[in-house]
Amino acid sequence: MTNSDKTTLVGKRAVVTGAGRGIGRSIALALAEAGAEVAVSARTANDIEALVAEIRATGRQGVGVTCDVTVPEQVQQMMTAVTEGLGGIDILVNNAGNAGSHKFLNHPDELWQRMLAVNLTSIYYVTKAFVPMLINQRSGRIINIASIASRVGGQYIAAYTAAKHGALGLTRALAVELLPYNITVNAICPGYVNTPMTDASISNIKAHTGMTEAQAREALEKTSPQRRLIEADEVAAVAVFLAQESSRGITGQAINIDGGSVMS
């Protein structure tokens, strides 16, 4: 990142959900390094406190709020705290999410409900809470962290795939509805990313297949034509790009970061 890149978001205020680790953490730090004041939320207070300290170390304002984004009352409280801390927002990054897998035969209803709640309904709750202020100021950026599973089906991940397809559908519907207010809405669709969530997937594969950890990791790497996991900072770079004024012509789009596994 050049020195000029580091000032592209000066004066902007951002909120990132699910920011305690992985992709969300990388996005929050990248936005701060680009000049934005950043509020972050997650369920774990220790993760948020550490991240806020890193944001402030960049010279930007940092606000941390513990929040379960599947609970609408907590989302409203988070919105109030963020608004008081930053004075409003210009950039909303819906990153909170989780993965789970099971054969569709005898699929647990609890897993279905949990995948939809954290990967889809949370986007609805958070966006609904923040969008009135974006409409009032007639400008804003909404960036939803979806998945390559928003674009294609996958074995043993019916609930996750359905939720992520829903996230992309919601992205496109909001892009149309919010267009008159100069608000862009886009989705980033990563493949497997080198994060703790993928580590959990590797452990799950190991437990159910008898593979070693190295073999399970290699199996996920092979889902990409580049034979590697995506890095969180690659996703963060696209989020910063979409947040900039120069990206105002991009809306309703799903940007794949998957090493070329899905070319559409």
The residue type at 144: N
Radius of gyration of the chain (CA): 18
Q: How far apart are CA 29 and CA 148, in angstroms?
A: 23
Instruction: Determine whether 124 is an active site residue.
Output: no
Interacting residues of 220 by C-beta distance below 8 A, sequence separation 6+: 192, 198, 201, 202, 205, 229
CA distance 79 to 29: 20
Q: Which of the residues 124, 160, 181, 192 is marked catalytic?
A: 160
Hey, what are 154's tokens? 């996958």
For residue 262, is it left (φ>0), alpha (ψ between -120 and 50) or beta? Answer: beta
Measure the CA–CA gap between 119 and 98, rounded to whole angstroms. 7
Distance CA 80, CA 30 (A): 24
Helix ranges (H only) for 117-193 are 122-137, 158-178
Catalytic residues: 160
